[in-house]
């Protein structure tokens, strides 16, 4: 029996499809809770982040297609040990960058190199293609399984990991008669959300082009306000993660259409679906961008985000760092802060899996918390009580104005005032779409405690 991990991901899906096309009825998919309906073979629920629960999933398994979607090898030895206890063979898709000149400076290449070493040490028979394009993985697996069709008896073949010039050589550009690489362009790849989109796509093995208005060795120049920069940034791209810039959207649509972009995931705003949208400049700006994409003929997914958890850094980090009380006009107002990592996870799913075209997801955090409770969570992470001082709305507005533009100040004040009157909406869309629970504000604070120290 063959166990396919990452079975709902870009590569895993194709591996499963290929196994089925080959008539292999002994494939099984390891999926996160709630994802069984996303795969067309028998599924076992589990996760590589919980190796202690892998026993049942590995029952009767002789070969594992292993996807490692994490940015650290932490947990990998336990997973490989669990696999080695039952199975004989592991197929791991590594990166073309391993062993190359950039390995030392690139965290993803270093991660793959470390995974290769752990796999080598596991004692498992291994096939470790070093690839750049998902297609190469399919080709490699096809070759492997064609050569060893017996169920559960993969023939020993030399691993190709130490042969970068061999069958897993770099994917070529279609113009050169090679493999077509589906490149995803990430706008704002240094941004709060964009950087996690970039990391998530890279971890999933998706070829990415990172962009910024300030280019460097790893970022291509792209400025949505300067349309002449867009054709080069989008050349050959099929997918895009986009920030909303109303002034630049017409130029973007034109450049994306001529580049052959198929799908755009837009970071939009929940203000669009909230009361008072017509008078809200933030809603208006985001809606302009959404409308242009709806009319563009491109496929799109909108992530209409509610209040970001990161906003608390702008509002409160200075006062908390200096040991002063946090001044709040509505301490008992509730909001449902959303984590930038969850937005990125949604974007990665919408960019790598089918079924998200023409979908607008409204994304709030998983819990409604009062502002006082949010300050309390920050205090708990710092190990000290943070005093809260109630101030008038006028004083609160003046405090906010020191940290954000006037339009944003009014929107935040209105949101807080509404949150003092009624419990705000939360959402389950993160779990529904990605299969992973949304991060709570307490978890977000743990990741960002240093920002408040």
Positions that interact with ligand NAP (CB under 6 A): 187-188, 190-194, 212-214, 222-225, 243-245, 248, 267, 269, 305, 307-308, 310-311
Q: Measure the CA–CA gap between 339 and 341, rounded to whole angstroms.
A: 5
Nearer to ligand NAP by Cβ, of 223 and 290: the residue is: 223
Nearer to ligand NAP by Cβ, of 6 and 194: the residue is: 194
CB of 442 to ligand NAP, least distance (A): 19
Cα radius of gyration rounded to whole Å, the chain: 24
* 376-to-1, 369, 429, 442 alpha-carbon distances in Å: 50, 10, 26, 9
CB of 404 to ligand NAP, least distance (A): 9
Q: 347 with 193: CB under 8 angstroms? A: yes
CB atoms within 10 A of CB 373: 15
Token pair in block for residue 165: 């010039």
Nearer to ligand NAP by Cβ, of 312 and 370: the residue is: 312
Nearer to ligand NAP by Cβ, of 308 and 444: the residue is: 308
CB of 297 to ligand NAP, least distance (A): 22
CB of 157 to ligand NAP, least distance (A): 44
Beta strand ranges found along 141-206 (DSSP E)? 183-186
Beta strand ranges found along 86-131 (DSSP E)? 89-92, 94-95, 125-127, 130-131
Token pair in block for residue 108: 């993803």
* 431-to-46, 363, 439 alpha-carbon distances in Å: 15, 11, 10
Q: 347 with 267: CB under 8 angstroms? A: yes
Token pair in block for residue 248: 């630049």
CB of 9 to ligand NAP, least distance (A): 23
CB of 217 to ligand NAP, least distance (A): 14
The crossing angle, in degrees rounded to 10, of helices 10-21 and 134-147 is: 30
Nearer to ligand NAP by Cβ, of 96 and 267: the residue is: 267
Nearer to ligand NAP by Cβ, of 4 and 189: the residue is: 189
Nearer to ligand NAP by Cβ, of 6 and 365: the residue is: 365
Token pair in block for residue 272: 């669009």
CB of 282 to ligand NAP, least distance (A): 7
């Amino acid at each position: 029996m063959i166990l396919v991990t990452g079975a709902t991901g870009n590569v895993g899906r194709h591996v499963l499809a290929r196994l089925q096309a080959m008539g292999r009825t002994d494939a099984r998919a390891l999926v996160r809770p709630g994802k069984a309906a996303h795969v067309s073979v028998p599924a076992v629920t589990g996760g590589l982040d919980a190796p202690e629960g892998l026993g049942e999933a590995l029952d009767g398994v002789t070969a594992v297609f292993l996807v490692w979607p994490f940015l650290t090898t932490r947990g990998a030895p336990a997973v490989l040990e669990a696999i080695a206890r039952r199975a004989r063979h592991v197929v791991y898709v590594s990166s073309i960058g391993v062993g190359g000149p950039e390995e030392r400076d690139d965290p993803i290449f270093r991660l793959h190199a470390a995974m290769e070493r752990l796999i080598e040490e596991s004692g498992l028979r291994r096939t470790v293609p070093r690839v750049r394009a998902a297609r190469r993985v399919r080709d490699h697996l096809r070759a492997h399984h064609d050569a060893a069709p017996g169920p559960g008896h993969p023939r020993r073949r030399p691993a190709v990991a130490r042969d970068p010039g061999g069958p897993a050589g770099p994917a070529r550009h279609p113009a050169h008669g090679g493999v077509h690489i589906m490149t995803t362009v990430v706008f704002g790849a240094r941004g709060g959300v964009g950087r996690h989109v970039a990391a998530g796509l890279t971890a999933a093995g998706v070829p990415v082009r990172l962009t910024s208005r300030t280019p460097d060795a790893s970022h291509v120049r792209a400025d949505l306000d300067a349309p002449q920069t867009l054709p080069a940034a989008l050349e050959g791209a099929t997918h895009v993660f986009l920030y909303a810039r109303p002034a630049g959207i017409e130029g973007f649509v034109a450049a994306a259409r001529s580049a052959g972009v198929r799908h755009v995931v837009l970071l939009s705003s929940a203000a669009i679906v909230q009361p008072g949208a017509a008078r809200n400049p933030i809603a208006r700006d985001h809606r302009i961008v959404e409308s242009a994409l709806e009319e563009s003929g491109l496929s799109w997914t909108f992530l209409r985000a509610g209040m970001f958890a990161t906003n608390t850094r702008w509002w409160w980090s200075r006062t908390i760092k200096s040991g002063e009380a946090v001044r709040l006009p509505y301490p008992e107002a509730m909001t449902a802060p959303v984590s930038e990592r969850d937005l990125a996870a949604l974007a990665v799913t919408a960019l790598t899996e089918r079924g998200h075209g023409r979908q607008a997801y409204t994304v709030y955090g998983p819990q409604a918390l009062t502002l006082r409770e949010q300050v309390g969570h920050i205090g708990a992470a710092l190990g000290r009580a943070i005093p809260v001082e109630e101030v008038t709305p006028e004083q609160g507005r003046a405090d906010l104005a020191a940290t954000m533009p006037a339009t944003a100040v009014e929107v935040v004040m209105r949101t807080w005032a509404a949150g003092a009157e009624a419990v705000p909406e939360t959402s389950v869309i993160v779990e529904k779409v990605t299969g992973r629970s949304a991060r709570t504000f307490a978890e977000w604070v743990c990741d960002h405690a240093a920002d408040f120290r």
